[in-house]
Structure 1
């Protein structure tokens, strides 16, 4: 049985006449009659009866039309959905985002993606880079939006913007506005991410190379973004995004401690396995991000 035979049968019901149905379908009446014969042979029952110059569906014919209508509607809906998936205007994408990227980049990315692909579903995981890379490695994510480690060659990297990390403290901290000496810096404790995070490793190496004491960690966290207020309310030092610091300047009283030694160059961007492995909607995410943030 072919789908076109079922479509032809629906046309017969809609017109109530073989000749008019054949004209609407662009086929000959004998060809339409053969279609009915094929269907009646498949279902082993009469489907239409001649009534005067017209036709009438049998009870079996009415039942078949009802079922066929549902099949055709389902096929058309499936065709529309498949077209949307292939064009990247629908589907499902799993994005891992660093906290800073989730706060300052993801909203813009999501807005543009939802405008272009209103039926897309997005699953977002926020975390440190090592956590997100493990998820990407295990195929639990499609894309990471976060900072790009210099040493990493495991994934495809697409840079988007520069965002250095700097030494910060509360606005009323004793070191505010001061380029601290090793002795001055050594008097204060720190709030930092775990030791396996790249920014923490870089910070410790720079302090050691510059003749400064290693940071005394008083609070260790997996999310600096959620603990910024702790830095404000204490004399703890921390290491945060300059972009984040500037964006929140009027809301959270944190300041950058002027210490060029501890300005960590950092580039934010996308990481994924390969462009060819991404779904159409995931490729759409890459295209939107690169269009919005033109990295030079």
Structure 2
């Protein structure tokens, strides 16, 4: 049975007249008659009966119409869904996000995405760059929105915004507004990520090259953004995004310690394996970000 023939049968049920059905479909009555003949041949049963000047569906015809209505509706929905997937207005995006990007970039980006593609499902994993890159390498993520490594030939990268990393502390910290000497800086302990994290390695290398001692780490965490309140209420130092220096409440207010030696330039942007591998929905997300943050 062809979908077209089933659609024609439904038109016959609506009009109860071959001529009127043919007219509504924009075909000739003989063509419609051949359609019914094909259906009756394939189902080995009579589907319509002539009654006076009109027609009447047989029990088999009514049953086929009932099933045909479901088939036609399902195909219409399938066509609509396929169009949405093809244009990026539906589908699933597996997105890895750095904590800073999740806080300052993702809300605006997802707002724009869901306005244009309300059926898209976004699966978000927040983590450090090394973890997210491993997930991308294993094909467990489609995209990473985070800071871009200085040298990386493994993934395609698209820069979006600058996001320098600076030494930070509470606004009431003794080093506030002071360019600290090695002796002054060495007096305080640090809140830092694990030793294998690239930002911590960069910090330690720069401090040593400038004659400063390696930071004495007292608190170590796989993410620093949620710990701003801890930083604001202690005399710990940290090395975080400049965007995180002003929290939403006074209890999270931080200040940059002026130490240009260890101001780490950093760029946030996209990482993915290949543009051709991205789904239309993922490509739409990339395009929206690049329109919002024009590099």
TM-score norm. by structure 2 comes to: 0.97
| CA–CA distance in structure 2, aligned partners of residues 251 and 43 of structure 1 | 76
- C-alpha contact (below 8 Å) 2:168/2:240 kept by paired residues: yes
Question: 1:142-168: per-residue Cα shift (whole Å, max 9, x none)?
Answer: 111111010222111110010100001
1:293 corresponds to which residue? Answer: 293
- C-alpha contact (below 8 Å) 1:193/1:200 kept by paired residues: yes
| CA–CA distance in structure 2, aligned partners of residues 217 and 44 of structure 1 | 83
1:94 lines up with 2:94 in the alignment: yes
2:255 corresponds to which residue? Answer: 255
1:41 corresponds to which residue? Answer: 41
- Residues 178-189 of structure 1: pairs in structure 2 closer than 5 A: 178-189=178-189
1:269 lines up with 2:288 in the alignment: no
Name the count of aligned residue pairs. Answer: 295
- C-alpha contact (below 8 Å) 2:50/2:56 kept by paired residues: yes
- Residues 1-296 of structure 1: pairs in structure 2 closer than 5 A: 1-246=1-246, 248=248, 252-295=252-295
Residue 251 of structure 1 and its aligned partner are, at CA, apart by: 5.6
- C-alpha contact (below 8 Å) 1:113/1:288 kept by paired residues: yes
RMSD of aligned Cα (Å): 1.2
SS of residue in 1 equivalent to 2:284: helix
Mark the CA change 1:249 to 1:211 in structure 2 (over 3 Å): closer, same or farther. farther
- Structure 1 stretches of 4+ with a deviation exceeding 6 A read none
| CA–CA distance in structure 1, aligned partners of residues 200 and 39 of structure 2 | 73
| CA–CA distance in structure 2, aligned partners of residues 248 and 50 of structure 1 | 77
Mark the CA change 1:135 to 1:198 in structure 2 (over 3 Å): closer, same or farther. same
Question: 1:188-208: per-residue Cα shift (whole Å, max 9, x none)?
Answer: 111100112111111011011
Query: Which sections of structure 2, spanning at least 5 residues, go unmatched?
Result: none
- C-alpha contact (below 8 Å) 1:130/1:196 kept by paired residues: no
| CA–CA distance in structure 1, aligned partners of residues 249 and 181 of structure 2 | 26
Mark the CA change 1:117 to 1:270 in structure 2 (over 3 Å): closer, same or farther. same
| CA–CA distance in structure 2, aligned partners of residues 225 and 247 of structure 1 | 10
- C-alpha contact (below 8 Å) 2:246/2:252 kept by paired residues: no
TM-score norm. by structure 1 comes to: 0.97
| CA–CA distance in structure 1, aligned partners of residues 287 and 253 of structure 2 | 36
- C-alpha contact (below 8 Å) 2:245/2:253 kept by paired residues: no
- C-alpha contact (below 8 Å) 1:148/1:159 kept by paired residues: yes
Residue 27 of structure 1 and its aligned partner are, at CA, apart by: 1.6
Residue 245 of structure 1 and its aligned partner are, at CA, apart by: 1.2
SS of residue in 2 equivalent to 1:69: helix
SS of residue in 1 equivalent to 2:236: coil
SS of residue in 2 equivalent to 1:14: helix
Question: 1:240-278: per-residue Cα shift (whole Å, max 9, x none)?
Answer: 111221465856221111100010000011111111110
- C-alpha contact (below 8 Å) 2:96/2:141 kept by paired residues: yes
| CA–CA distance in structure 2, aligned partners of residues 204 and 151 of structure 1 | 19
- C-alpha contact (below 8 Å) 2:178/2:258 kept by paired residues: yes
Mark the CA change 1:231 to 1:241 in structure 2 (over 3 Å): closer, same or farther. same
